[in-house]
């Protein structure tokens, strides 16, 4: 089916329509302990149609139907049985083509090269002489072609190559420690250099080994905390990004992802100290969550969700923006052609400050440095959360001392952000897969931040 | 038409063995929030998955295009040949007769958006007969047809329907929940679900804070269902067992819980039964934990071949990892009232939310309570309490099982088309490590 033909036909029948086409090719390579465990190729293409009819939205998708009239009929029928009366914010209709550039093209990178690279990485890890009985790597590359048209006149074409990778390591020393880290990049196989994958992975092995062999019991009680960029990033994603999703705030996700402790009228309200500014920026080139236009054709821009400790802006689709009487800020994303675009994060990060690591640590008398995390958990309103350190250390009199095992921070969202009294200048991003909604939509994201200092938080 | 394409694929002589499957699904979803339907979605999806074997090298390809089958096979040959031989691979399964299962219900297949809207309206209106603020949820109906063929003579297909509904009801300070799932949409009592969630919401108003710590618990079937699903993730699969990541490692034949029995019976139609798995191997009844003793993990043909065993019929589409999808927790002879009356100081838990595994071997998970948590004292529900964070080993908790209900409920885990039939439980000890503000 041709998307412009569908749009032309449906325009007369609906108040608004948009048609999306997506074609993707994904190669996956799984390696366990240096041996190939699986090589998979996935090819997917399909079309979706979203219509607004008398205030109701209908959404249909297919990867097999060729009957345009039936496709349109089903969408209208869905919209007619949608009882809510919604609208879409009025937005500029763009005609554009965008593409992510690649230095080492996915199309030109053979399976043999990927296998060799990962086997070499595995060998380098083993060369550290650390006991790592389980080493699991998964590498995915995806080429995505998208076309989008809507009845406001938007017409956008996109070409988006992406690379994703994770390792899952089990290190055995006096105790067993496990490490998992995800990497993501929009572009080609230059990603491996950008990530500095070999050095990061070897640091991980050494860090886990330290904890496994020298890790002491984590102290409990009130103390200072230095969160490494990975911990700062997950906190920004979970306790700022999610609760500022407008659909959660409006209750639309209450049966699925959950609600938010933030209400519509809380913009300007204090949630943290003046050192806390958290941004969401899909326009970072080559980021995992990169896009130039969102899933509704709205131009992407940076958004400051928390600004200098205050709730500042929500993540919007055209529908939620209309309900609040504002413009969309281009945060509507869909995981594929067969899902509706809804307010989502792309690249969420704690905006860095000026402090060096040495300046951050120097006046901590006693505390914990949580370099990264092994587990996190948060409630359905994004208020009460828990982070457990993976590679963590005691800080005494401004110096890093012994490694500690699994320090547990349980804290509320304002409790966390109000305790921040300094932010470092070492901004880093980690990749993640963010899940939301029903039908479930898993999306590629970056989350990040610098090392941040928290005063007097409670470890359990 | 589909069968013709598949037969052509399995006749490709360039592969030593080849398997092809097709999953055709039609999903319709009606979502509602703030007591009104706000989303109607319909999706038609077909995918073709092929596994090829050449000299013990295994390749997999998945496509949604039936047009370029020759091109797809060419690509599969290329990626298969690039692999190293896998000495653990024995063979794809041979054809075996399977039992007939009735999993297709016309009422579900033919359900329309109008009918779903009407059913949601009944639920929402019933809930609003009480003093609540809003109702939200999702009602899904789905049809799937699955074809499986291989070069060793497997040639089967199977069609099924499922319907599922979950709903949350909120008032100013209360939260309630109910869900239901079945192959047949006729089995639903929409007013009953609205009533259950609203009643729980009203009961749960003005929750009070309590201190975290160790409590007796009465777990509703919703909460037990979540625990069961996490047990599956942490170790009932032979892949986890063979990679030494399962809690079953070193425990087969040992008593690891109290007197509980958990099995996976793919043929029991009180769950989402299927006649065969995604390799065409007939389903069977596999005891996983029997009266507290760890007995079996589940296999597909690959993991079974590795141990010179027979597959238990637990292959999953597009995954090399077997998984139990038709779980049963053996019921007892108790009921919720008795469980409450037997509790000196404990908590009645409706469900768990955002659960994450902390330690797979020790089966430790963490998460929050949600949608109705109540303090029980001296055999009576005293008052609702604010949500708590738990951090608990499932096995340690199941060692303290005191009462198991006679009545069971089916909880779905839709991403695998599976289900868990579960009772309510009364446990002697359950550890809560934190609290929240609502």
Instruction: Tell me the per-residue pLDDT of B212-261, one tens digit each, with 9 for 90 and over.
Output: 999 999 999 999 999 999 999 899 999 999 988 899 999 999 999 999 99
pLDDT at B83: 83
Q: Are B126 and B194 a contacting pair, CB within 8 Å?
A: yes
**How far off is chain B from A362, nearest CA to CA, in Å?**
32
- CB spacing of A388 vs B358 below 8 angstroms: yes
CB pairs under 8 A between A and B: 193
* Cβ-Cβ contacts under 8 Å, B46 against chain A: 63-64
Give the contacts of A143 (CB within 8 A, at least 6 positions apart). Answer: A24, A25, A106, A107, A159, A160, A161
Predicted ipTM of the assembly: 0.87
A66 interfacial to chain B (CB closer than 8 Å): no
DSSP 8-class letter at B277: -
* Cβ-Cβ contacts under 8 Å, B39 against chain A: 57, 59, 82, 340
- CB spacing of A78 vs B37 below 8 angstroms: no
- CB spacing of B62 vs A460 below 8 angstroms: no
DSSP 8-class letter at A297: S
Burial degree of B100 (CB within 10 A; 0-12, 13-18, 19+): exposed
pLDDT at A24: 97
pLDDT at B125 over 70: yes
Nearest CA in chain A to B31: A438
pLDDT at B415: 59
Which of A61, A80, A380 faces B370 most closely, judged by CB atoms?
A: A380
- CB spacing of A412 vs B436 below 8 angstroms: yes
Which of B27, B33, B82 faces A112 most closely, judged by CB atoms?
A: B82
Nearest CA in chain B to A342: B39
Span B37-49, mean pLDDT? 91
β-sheet bridge partners, residue A218 = none
- CB spacing of A43 vs B33 below 8 angstroms: no
**How far off is chain A from B185, nearest CA to CA, in Å?**
18
pLDDT at A256: 82
- CB spacing of B60 vs A74 below 8 angstroms: no
How do residues B180-212 score in pLDDT, each as one tens digit?
999 999 999 999 999 999 999 999 999 999 999
Count other Cβ atoms within 10 Å, centred on residue B1: 6
How far from chain centre, in Å, is Cα B269? Answer: 15
Q: What is the mean pLDDT of each run of 10 residues along chain A (460 residues)?
A: 92 95 95 87 94 94 89 93 88 98 97 94 97 95 98 98 96 92 98 96 96 96 98 98 97 87 97 98 98 98 98 98 97 96 98 98 97 91 93 98 95 97 98 90 97 96
pLDDT band, residue B400 (cuts 50/70/90):
very high
pLDDT at A257: 83
Domain ranges of chain B: 2-200, 209-438
pLDDT at B320: 87
Question: Strand, coil or helix: what is A360?
Answer: helix
pLDDT at B416: 62
- CB spacing of B34 vs A44 below 8 angstroms: no
- CB spacing of A82 vs B37 below 8 angstroms: yes
How do residues B247-273 score in pLDDT, each as one tens digit?
999 999 999 999 999 999 999 999 999
pLDDT band, residue B64 (cuts 50/70/90):
confident
Domain spanning B2-200, CATH class: alpha beta
* A contact residues 80-139, partner B, Cβ 8 Å cutoff: 80-84, 86, 111-112, 115, 134
pLDDT at A91: 98
**How far off is chain B from A320, nearest CA to CA, in Å?**
12
Q: φ, ψ for residue B49 (rounded to 5)? A: -120, 125
pLDDT at B74: 94
Q: In the β-sheet with A278-280, what is the strand arrangement from edge to edge?
A: A310-311, A303-307, A278-280, A347-350, A441-449, A428-436
- CB spacing of B60 vs A41 below 8 angstroms: yes
pLDDT at B417 over 90: no
- CB spacing of A251 vs B136 below 8 angstroms: yes
pLDDT at B348: 98
* Residue range A3-214, CATH number: 3.30.2290.10
Please give the Cα distance from A43 to A444 (Å, whole number).
Answer: 18
Nearest to B177 by CA among B225, B117, B230, B143: B225
* Cβ-Cβ contacts under 8 Å, A46 against chain B: 45, 64
Which of B31, B45, B116 faces A438 most closely, judged by CB atoms?
A: B31
Burial degree of A96 (CB within 10 A; 0-12, 13-18, 19+): middle
Nearest CA in chain A to B355: A377
* Alpha-carbon distance values, B57 to A139, A206, B13, B310 (Å): 19, 34, 15, 21
Burial degree of B160 (CB within 10 A; 0-12, 13-18, 19+): buried
CA angle B263, B268, B273 (to 5 degrees): 100
- CB spacing of B44 vs A258 below 8 angstroms: no
Q: Are B134 and B74 a contacting pair, CB within 8 Å?
A: no
A37 interfacial to chain B (CB closer than 8 Å): yes
pLDDT at A27: 94
């Amino acid at each position: 089916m041709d998307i412009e033909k569908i749009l032309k036909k449906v325009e007369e029948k609906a108040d608004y329509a948009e048609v999306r086409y997506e074609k993707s090719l994904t190669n996956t390579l799984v390696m366990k302990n240096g041996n190939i465990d699986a090589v998979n190729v996935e090819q997917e293409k399909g079309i979706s149609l979203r219509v607004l009819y008398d205030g109701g939205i209908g959404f249909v998708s297919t990867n097999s139907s060729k009957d345009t009239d039936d496709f349109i009929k089903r969408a209208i029928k869905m919209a007619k049985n949608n009882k809510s009366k919604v609208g879409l914010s009025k937005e500029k209709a763009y005609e554009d083509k965008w593409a992510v550039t690649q230095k080492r093209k996915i199309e030109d990178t053979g399976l043999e090269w990927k296998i060799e690279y990962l086997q070499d990485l595995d060998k380098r890890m083993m060369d550290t002489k650390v006991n790592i009985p389980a080493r699991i790597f998964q590498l995915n590359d995806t080429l995505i072609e998208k076309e989008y048209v809507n009845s406001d006149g938007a017409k956008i074409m996109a070409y988006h190559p992406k690379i994703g990778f994770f390792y899952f390591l089990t290190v055995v020393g006096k105790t067993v420690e496990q490490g998992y880290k995800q990497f993501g990049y929009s572009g080609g196989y230059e990603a491996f250099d950008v990530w500095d994958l070999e050095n990061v992975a070897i640091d991980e092995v050494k860090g886990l080994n330290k904890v496994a062999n020298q890790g002491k019991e984590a102290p409990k009680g009130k103390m200072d905390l230095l969160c490494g960029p990975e911990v700062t990033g997950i906190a920004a994603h979970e306790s700022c990004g999610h609760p500022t999703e407008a659909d959660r705030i409006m209750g639309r996700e209450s049966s699925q992802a959950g609600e938010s402790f933030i209400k519509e009228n809380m913009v300007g309200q204090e949630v943290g100290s003046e050192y806390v500014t958290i941004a969401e920026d899909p326009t970072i080139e080559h980021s995992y969550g990169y896009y130039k236009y969102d899933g509704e054709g709205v131009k992407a821009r940076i958004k400051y969700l928390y600004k200098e400790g205050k709730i500042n802006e929500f993540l919007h689709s055209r529908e939620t923006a209309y309900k609040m009487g504002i413009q969309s800020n281009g945060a509507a994303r869909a995981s594929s052609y067969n899902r509706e675009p809804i307010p989502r994060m792309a690249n969420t990060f704690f905006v860095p400050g000026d402090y060096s690591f040495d300046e951050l640590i120097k006046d901590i008398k006693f505390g914990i440095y949580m370099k990264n995390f092994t587990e996190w958990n948060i409630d359905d309103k994004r208020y009460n959360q828990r982070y457990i350190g993976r590679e963590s250390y005691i800080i005494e009199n401004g110096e890093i001392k012994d490694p500690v095992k699994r320090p547990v921070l349980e804290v509320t969202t304002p409790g966390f952000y109000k305790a921040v009294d300094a932010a470092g200048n070492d901004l880093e991003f980690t990749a993640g897969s963010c899940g939301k909604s029903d039908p479930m939509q898993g999306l590629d994201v970056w989350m990040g931040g610098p090392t941040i200092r928290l005063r007097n938080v409670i470890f359990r | 038409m589909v069968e013709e394409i598949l037969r052509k694929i399995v006749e490709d002589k360039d592969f030593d063995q080849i398997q092809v499957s097709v999953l055709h699904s039609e999903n319709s979803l009606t979502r509602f929030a703030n007591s009104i339907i706000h989303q109607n979605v319909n999706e038609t999806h077909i995918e073709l998955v092929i596994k090829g074997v050449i000299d013990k090298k295994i390749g997999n390809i998945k496509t949604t295009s039936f047009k370029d089958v020759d091109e797809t096979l060419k690509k599969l040959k290329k990626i298969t040949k690039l692999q190293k031989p896998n000495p653990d691979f024995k063979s794809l399964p041979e054809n075996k007769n399977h039992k007939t299962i009735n999993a297709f219900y016309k009422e579900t297949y033919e359900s329309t958006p109008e009918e779903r809207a009407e059913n949601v309206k009944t639920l929402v209106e019933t809930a609003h007969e009480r003093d609540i603020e809003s109702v939200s949820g999702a009602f899904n109906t789905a049809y799937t047809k699955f074809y499986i063929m291989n070069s060793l003579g497997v040639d089967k297909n199977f069609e099924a329907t499922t319907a599922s509904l979950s709903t949350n009801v909120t008032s100013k300070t209360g939260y309630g929940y109910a869900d239901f799932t079945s192959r047949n949409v006729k089995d639903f009592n929409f007013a009953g679900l609205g009533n259950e969630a609203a009643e729980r919401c009203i009961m749960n108003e003005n929750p009070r804070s309590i201190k975290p710590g160790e409590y007796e618990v009465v777990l509703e079937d919703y909460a037990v269902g979540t625990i069961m699903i996490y047990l599956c993730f942490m170790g009932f699969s032979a892949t986890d067992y063979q990679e030494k990541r399962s809690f079953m490692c070193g425990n087969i034949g040992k008593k690891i819980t109290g007197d509980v029995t958990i099995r996976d019976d793919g043929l029991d139609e009180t769950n989402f039964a299927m006649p065969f798995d995604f390799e065409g191997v007939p389903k069977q009844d596999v005891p996983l934990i029997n009266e507290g003793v760890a007995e079996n993990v589940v296999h597909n043909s690959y993991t079974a071949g590795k141990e010179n065993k027979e597959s238990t019929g637990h292959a999953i589409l597009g995954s090399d990892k077997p998984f139990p999808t038709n779980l049963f927790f053996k019921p007892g002879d108790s009921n919720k009232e008795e469980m409450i009356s037997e509790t000196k100081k404990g908590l009645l838990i409706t469900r768990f939310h955002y659960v994450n595994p902390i330690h797979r071997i020790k089966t430790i998970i963490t998460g929050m309570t949600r949608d109705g948590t109540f303090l029980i004292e001296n055999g009576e529900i005293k008052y609702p309490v604010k949500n708590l964070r738990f951090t608990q080993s499932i096995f340690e908790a199941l060692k303290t099982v005191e009462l198991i209900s006679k009545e069971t409920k089916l909880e779905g885990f839709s991403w695998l088309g599976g289900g868990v039939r579960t009772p309510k439980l009364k446990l002697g000890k359950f550890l809560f490590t934190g609290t929240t503000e609502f």
